[in-house]
Amino acid sequence: MMVTTNADAPRLVLASASKVRADILSGAGVDFDICPSDVDENILKDTLSDGGALALALAAEKAHAVSAQYPDHIVLGADQILSCDGRLFDKPRNMDEASKNLMFLRGKTHQLINGLALVLNGETVWQNTATASLTMREFSEAFLDMYLHQAGTSILSSVGCYRLEAEGSQLFEKIDGDYFTVLGLPLMPLLGALRQHGVLML
């Protein structure tokens, strides 16, 4: 794999335990460390009702929390919010909740709102939001039962109860937006920011 990270630049730290985000960065040839943030997301979720503002605030909060442990490193915080009919969704706690959420989303268009933040020595040096709109088809309850059985508990790590790169693609009839935004890491603007701050080669 070609690694394009600039050896003389600040090292990148991903403040997330998301395997998908780590795989996207690795696939793009970015060298980085991982230090998941332990931020209590509920505090911000109780005070912010706008999906975009919440995604940005959570991303920044995660990055700031990890930045204190990694001086002179660029820390990447990321968060994804699902919004549908004025309701903001959390990751499902169990398969029963996943089933209920998918029944609510069935036949509707929802938004995946992503927030990204880069923090260096406690200072936010870059922020970005990106949104994708996804329309679920009117799938049958029999299909939903089959989907939940085949996808298994892996979907509990996704706010939308699906992985678009796997069986989750069968839930949809239309998607408007960037593929990486759907997966939770808008890659093109992030790579541009990493080049701007010297992490990646120009």
**Active-site choice (23, 33, 38, 79):** 79
Let me know: does 119 contact 65? Beta carbons within 8 Å.
Answer: no
Dist CA 43 CA 26 (whole Å): 31
Neighbours of 123 (CB within 10 A): 9
Dist CA 108 CA 100 (whole Å): 14
| C-alpha distances in Å from residue 161, one per residue of 15, 31, 101 | 22, 29, 8
State yes or no: is 90 an active-site residue.
Answer: no
Q: What is the SS3 assignment for 94?
A: coil
Dist CA 162 CA 107 (whole Å): 15
Listed in order, strand segments (DSSP E) in the chain are 12-14, 32-34, 74-84, 87-89, 109-120, 123-136, 172-176
Catalytically annotated residues? 79
